[in-house]
């Protein structure tokens, strides 16, 4: 999916914009002049971001509360967006130190040398979309790990990752 040029008649939808990668995607897209529809479960946290983005970048921002974990909320959002030309993008950022990762306890197993900031994930993702790329892996080490994962047998790769993590932690 490529990122279209900004226009007054198009919006970019960002889910999970209340923190982490979603927040950085919203800021990066607004910086490039895109109007936004921010879909979020916690509307109170998003109002400040929406106001900041409007003031800083002069774009239109709509906040759409929706709990994507709730089937009825998802169905209502899908129906609302059905004929708008929206397509689906899956963001699978991997090990990124965000609020979600902290709450989920995921930071305890993240390899320090492999993590990439939410800002870098968002910036690389937006740049990749603008270039028409179907997939983007931010950061040098994650790219190497992703490439190695294709060619190195898992029986060799996993012990190597475990060993590097032991050295990192001391």
- Provide, rounded to the nearest whole percent, the portion of the chain with pLDDT above 90: 10
Higher pLDDT, residue 126 or 105? 126
pLDDT at 90 over 50: no
pLDDT tens digits, 28-83: 999 989 888 888 877 877 888 899 999 999 999 988 888 877 889 888 988 887 77
Catalogue all structural domains in the chain, each as residue range(s) with its CATH number: 11-169 (3.40.50.720)
| Gap between the terminal Cα atoms of the chain | 42
This prediction has a pTM of: 0.62
């Amino acid at each position: 999916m490529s990122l279209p040029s900004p226009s007054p008649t198009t919006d970019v939808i960002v889910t999970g914009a209340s923190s982490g990668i979603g927040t950085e995607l919203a800021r990066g897209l607004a910086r490039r002049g895109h109007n936004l529809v921010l879909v979020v479960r916690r509307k109170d946290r998003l109002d400040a971001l929406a106001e900041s983005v409007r003031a800083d970048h002069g774009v239109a921002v709509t906040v759409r509360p929706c709990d994507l974990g709730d089937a009825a909320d998802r169905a209502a959002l899908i129906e609302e967006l059905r004929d708008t030309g929206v397509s689906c993008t899956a963001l699978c950022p991997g090990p990124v130190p965000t609020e979600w990762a902290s709450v989920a306890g995921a930071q305890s197993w993240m390899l320090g040398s492999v993590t990439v900031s939410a800002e870098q994930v968002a910036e690389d993702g937006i740049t990749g979309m603008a270039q028409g790329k179907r997939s983007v892996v931010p950061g040098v080490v994650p790219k190497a790990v992703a490439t190695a994962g294709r060619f190195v047998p898992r029986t060799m790769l996993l012990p190597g990752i475990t060993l590097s993590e032991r050295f990192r932690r001391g």
